[in-house]
Structure 1
Amino acid sequence: MYKCALILAAGQGTRIKSDLPKVLHKICGKEMVNHVIDTMRKADIEDINVIVGKGAELVKEKTASRNISYSVQEEQLGTGHAVKCAIDFLKGKKGVVGVFCGDAPLIKAETVNNLFKSHIENNNSATLLSSILEDPTGYGRVVRKDNEVLKIVEHKDCDEKELKIKEMNAAIYCFDIEELVNSLDKLSNNNNQGEYYLTDVIGILKEEGKSVGAVVIDYDETIGVNSRVQLAEAEEILRKRINLKHMINGVTLIDPNSTYIGDDVEIGRDTIIYPGNVIEGNTKIGEGVILYPNSRISNSIISNNVEVQSSVIIDSKIGEKTTVGPFAYIRPESIIGNNARIGDFVEIKKSTIGNNTKVSHLTYIGDASVGENCNFGCGTVVVNYDGSKKHKTIIGNNSFIGCNTNLVSPVKVEDNTYIAAGSTIVNDVKEGELAVARAKQRNIEGWVAKKGLTNK
């Protein structure tokens, strides 16, 4: 059966007090609306329409890579009005549509699958998700009779009896598409808020004798984010969920409460992660890796048996059995080979470092291609910027770069070369050569006394 999804993402969110549209605030490193979209994909729902309003262009920009369509809600007149704004997306379709909230990012793919499955198997016109709360204050109540769903009443419209109901509406639904389209025309804004409630569709369908079902789920999955406090609560729930998944899969987290792993991160078994690590984006970490405390790794590939200490690695790749840090900075578009050493206070930018090469400390390598089995002495600098353009340095295999060397790009250092400490290299170095580029030392007798600089 054809399945599609609507995601409500039109509100600005006044309580979150931000110029950024509410659905673009991040939890675990990803925008809330993109969490919902990605969950739909995991549930095999391909046709997705996002209803945008406040900050529409920015929402479109941040979701553009997801291959979705958009509807626009110019005025925020309620959830029913939002779905009405997607009528062009719905018309002519037959099957089932799920309606989800862009600010409720904790829904699981298996829950989405169960919702659609229950809806289809029970031949319902509508199916909703609900939770049981001891104190459902502020939530719409699910009103039942003989265990069948009759209607949903918003909290502000509840009478005394309805306020005692503990089953709350999660504001997530499945509808028969044709039934939904027909019901939207019958919605009224005759309520305390003067808005068009999507929940009223349930009552309309019941009045017509249609079947409405409900699937009760864990409350955590239903949480919507309307404030910075709720944003932090959602972050904590998702972080625990992510960390638990990795530990079940064979990853050791020394302190899960202080380990921050993004939703899309992949980690191999027998990897050990110490406290204070932040792992973001589409990072892939291999097996047997050790991440000592306080590193940030973003959108990078960390191969098997790597060790990283207190370093930053962004948009780069680290080869097997390589060590990084402490206090190294691997900047975007860098590729570090196998069994290499990138040591303390080393910065690598847009460069390739070959297998078994050692860059042990206090060195900057930018816009360079470095071969295998090289050794960089302390204080080496690739001088890649002339004030207007970046230039490339090429260093061959088995090269030894002495301490305090400046390599002024563009320059080429061929295989099996040595560069003497303190040299500034501006010309190419041929294979087998020793390059010495420093002034001859002069000792001027009596200079200190002549200048009157002797300590008294």
Structure 2
Amino acid sequence: MPVTAIILAAGEGTRMKSRHPKVMHQLLDHPLAWWSVRAARQAGAQRIVLVVGSGAEELREYFSDDADIEFVEQAERLGTGHAVRVACEQAGPFSGPVLLMYGDTPLMRAETISSLVKEAKAHHNACTVLTMSPVDPTGYGRILSEDGQVKAIIEHKDCTPEQRVALTECNSGLYCFCGRRLSENIGRLRNDNAQSEYYITDMVGVFVGLGEPVSALRCEDDQEPLGVNSRIQLAQASKIMQRRINQSLMDSGVSMLDPDQVWVGPEVRVGQDSELLPQTFLWGKTEVGADCVIGPNSRLRNARVGNSCVVDETVIEESAIDDRVKCGPRAYLRGGAHFMEGAKAGTHVEIKGSEVGEGSKVPHLSYIGDARLGKGVNIGGGSITCNYDGKHKSHTEIGDHVFIGSDTMMVAPVTIGDGALVGASSCITSDVPAGALSLERSRQTTIEGWADRYWEELGKED
């Protein structure tokens, strides 16, 4: 039967001190809720029910393109058991395994979740609890077991002094239920407690009272179930995930001078023998080839980098560079820029929505926007394609082996033919034929002695 994941994401997260819902705060380059959804999918969940409440519209908008996500709104937040009951009422009844997860536990591994589902299926359990044994169990509900079966979850405040010492196995908060038995019995939960809330932990007692099997599976890594309730905990979880990802990359053949100063998102791919230097950020679906040096001080988002590239103090967003391309220091590629093999973007260069041909160079202090450069082009320092007239964007076409002198303005739309040469400090407003020299300058005027007289008069005024 298909696996369903119910992910609770309705809480306000008041300790975050934010106008955004807690689960939409970013861990690395994705919201907390995204990590839980991803783990559920990787664990084999074909159906995902996201229980939303506070900030519901922000979550709906973020996941609007995800066809496998169903939204259930918990208008009143009356506890975790109430959230599950709302999910059963609005999206159920369920059959098959039902995972109960949380939108603020981004460190859960898909492998752990899969193991929980396998355990539940193997024993036909009504409920299987993922447990852990933290060094400090203070605050966690304790698992009371007998002959391998869970008999109760005792909240920390309700434990006797002896139980607090003897019971070291704790509830992680993650469960796998039998969907049918959950749907049939969720209404048995009661809210006769100090908070008048319905707790999903009480389902263990419900099933034990009905004679249904409940067992536990211990999580080997106590960090996995950690929840994020504050910005301090968010930073702590981010550091754990950073190290987890970086260790995986280094194991696969990627070098890092200082892994604590490299941040890589979960969807990024980096090839063997590439080096990530300090203060490097790789986000989105960035792909880096083999034998590259990225950084220091570089940020790439949804970038494609070929093999044997150097990206030095450079920002690349939604753009691509092919093999043996050099960027920086302090270059900025954006808006679908594409550098072909052996090309170069130098110091203080911005490239937007342009194609730069093989072996072409934009070495320094230039802006190239909405243009296509052929092979072997050289752009002199301080040159600009003037692509925007305040209302419309226009295109500049530069052929193969063109030399553009320094401080040249190319006012689009304009075409410069193959092999042309444009003199320095020109303002090109008309097409330049192939093989031609184009030069546009005003005549230089020199007035002998003018400066001497000026300074003399200025001195008299003082």
Cα distance in structure 2, aligned partners of 1:365 and 1:453: 45
Counterpart of 1:197 in structure 2 is: 199
Query: What is the Cα deviation at residue 161 of structure 1?
Result: 4.4
Counterpart of 2:145 in structure 1 is: 144
**Paired residue secondary structure (2:206):** helix
Any conservation in 2 of the 1:90–1:177 contact (CA below 8 Å)? no
Query: What is the Cα deviation at residue 300 of structure 1?
Result: 0.6
Which has the higher mean CA deviation after the structures are superposed, 218-227 or 408-417? Answer: 408-417
Q: Residues 198-213 of structure 1 correspond to what in structure 2 (within 5 A)?
A: 198-213=200-215
**Paired residue secondary structure (1:297):** strand
Query: What is the Cα deviation at residue 392 of structure 1?
Result: 1.6
| Offset from partner CA, 1:418-438 (integer Å, 9 cap, x none) | 100010001111111111011
Cα distance in structure 1, aligned partners of 2:123 and 2:57: 39
**Paired residue secondary structure (1:39):** helix
Query: What is the Cα deviation at residue 310 of structure 1?
Result: 0.8
Any conservation in 1 of the 2:262–2:277 contact (CA below 8 Å)? yes
Look up the equivalent residue of 2:62 and give its one-letter code: K
TM score, norm. by length of structure 1: 0.97
Are residues 90 and 442 of structure 1, via their aligned partners in 2, closer, same or farther at CA, if it must alter by over 3 Å?
closer
Query: What is the Cα deviation at residue 455 of structure 1?
Result: 9.2
Are residues 162 and 191 of structure 1, via their aligned partners in 2, closer, same or farther at CA, if it must alter by over 3 Å?
farther
Residue 279 (structure 1) aligned with residue 282 (structure 2): yes
Query: What is the Cα deviation at residue 160 of structure 1?
Result: 4.1
Counterpart of 1:245 in structure 2 is: 248
Counterpart of 1:430 in structure 2 is: 433
**Paired residue secondary structure (2:441):** coil
| Offset from partner CA, 1:294-348 (integer Å, 9 cap, x none) | 1111111111111011111111101110000001111221111110011000011
Q: Which among 379, 383, 392 is matched to residue 386 of structure 2?
A: 383
Q: Which among 323, 328, 341 is matched to residue 331 of structure 2?
A: 328
Q: Which among 350, 354, 362 is matched to residue 353 of structure 2?
A: 350
Cα distance in structure 2, aligned partners of 1:341 and 1:455: 48
Counterpart of 2:185 in structure 1 is: 183
Counterpart of 1:173 in structure 2 is: 175
Cα distance in structure 1, aligned partners of 2:304 and 2:389: 31
Which has the higher mean CA deviation after the structures are superposed, 85-94 or 373-382? Answer: 85-94
**Paired residue secondary structure (1:193):** coil
Are residues 141 and 90 of structure 1, via their aligned partners in 2, closer, same or farther at CA, if it must alter by over 3 Å?
farther
Structure 2 gap segments, 5+ residues each: none
Look up the equivalent residue of 2:190 and give its one-letter code: S
Counterpart of 2:373 in structure 1 is: 370
Any conservation in 2 of the 1:396–1:416 contact (CA below 8 Å)? yes
Structure 1 gap segments, 5+ residues each: none
| Offset from partner CA, 1:39-68 (integer Å, 9 cap, x none) | 122222221110000000001111223321
Residue 223 (structure 1) aligned with residue 241 (structure 2): no
Which has the higher mean CA deviation after the structures are superposed, 389-398 or 198-207? Answer: 389-398
| Offset from partner CA, 1:213-258 (integer Å, 9 cap, x none) | 1111121100000011110110011111000110111111111111
Cα distance in structure 1, aligned partners of 2:93 and 2:194: 34
Cα distance in structure 2, aligned partners of 1:334 and 1:63: 28
Counterpart of 1:403 in structure 2 is: 406
Any conservation in 2 of the 1:344–1:361 contact (CA below 8 Å)? yes
Any conservation in 2 of the 1:157–1:191 contact (CA below 8 Å)? no
Cα distance in structure 2, aligned partners of 1:192 and 1:453: 90
Cα distance in structure 1, aligned partners of 2:346 and 2:153: 62
Residue 394 (structure 1) aligned with residue 393 (structure 2): no
**Paired residue secondary structure (1:121):** helix
Query: What is the Cα deviation at residue 134 of structure 1?
Result: 3.4
Query: What is the Cα deviation at residue 349 of structure 1?
Result: 1.1
Residue 163 (structure 1) aligned with residue 164 (structure 2): yes
Counterpart of 2:444 in structure 1 is: 441
Cα distance in structure 1, aligned partners of 2:420 and 2:205: 82
Look up the equivalent residue of 2:127 and give its one-letter code: A
Counterpart of 1:261 in structure 2 is: 264
Are residues 179 and 320 of structure 1, via their aligned partners in 2, closer, same or farther at CA, if it must alter by over 3 Å?
same
Are residues 453 and 72 of structure 1, via their aligned partners in 2, closer, same or farther at CA, if it must alter by over 3 Å?
farther
Counterpart of 2:47 in structure 1 is: 47
| Offset from partner CA, 1:247-285 (integer Å, 9 cap, x none) | 111111111111111111111111111111111111111
Any conservation in 1 of the 2:307–2:324 contact (CA below 8 Å)? yes
Counterpart of 2:17 in structure 1 is: 17
| Offset from partner CA, 1:148-170 (integer Å, 9 cap, x none) | 21121333444444434222111
Look up the equivalent residue of 1:297 and give its one-letter code: L
Cα distance in structure 1, aligned partners of 2:92 and 2:388: 58
TM score, norm. by length of structure 2: 0.96
Which has the higher mean CA deviation after the structures are superposed, 228-237 or 386-395? Answer: 386-395
Counterpart of 2:5 in structure 1 is: 5
| Offset from partner CA, 1:188-220 (integer Å, 9 cap, x none) | 001222110011111101111111111111211
Query: What is the Cα deviation at residue 184 of structure 1?
Result: 0.8
Counterpart of 2:111 in structure 1 is: 110
**Paired residue secondary structure (1:279):** strand
**Paired residue secondary structure (1:278):** strand
Look up the equivalent residue of 1:423 and give its one-letter code: S
Counterpart of 1:290 in structure 2 is: 293
Query: What is the Cα deviation at residue 442 of structure 1?
Result: 2.0
Which has the higher mean CA deviation after the structures are superposed, 73-82 or 38-47? Answer: 38-47
Cα distance in structure 2, aligned partners of 1:213 and 1:372: 67
Counterpart of 1:270 in structure 2 is: 273
Counterpart of 1:31 in structure 2 is: 31
Q: Which among 210, 213, 216 is matched to residue 214 of structure 1?
A: 216
Any conservation in 2 of the 1:49–1:89 contact (CA below 8 Å)? no
Query: What is the Cα deviation at residue 179 of structure 1?
Result: 0.5
Query: What is the Cα deviation at residue 292 of structure 1?
Result: 3.0
Any conservation in 1 of the 2:380–2:407 contact (CA below 8 Å)? yes
Cα distance in structure 2, aligned partners of 1:453 and 1:367: 50
Cα distance in structure 2, aligned partners of 1:74 and 1:157: 30
Q: Residues 24-103 of structure 1 correspond to what in structure 2 (within 5 A)?
A: 24-67=24-67, 68-88=69-89, 90-103=91-104
Any conservation in 2 of the 1:52–1:70 contact (CA below 8 Å)? yes
Look up the equivalent residue of 1:186 and give its one-letter code: R
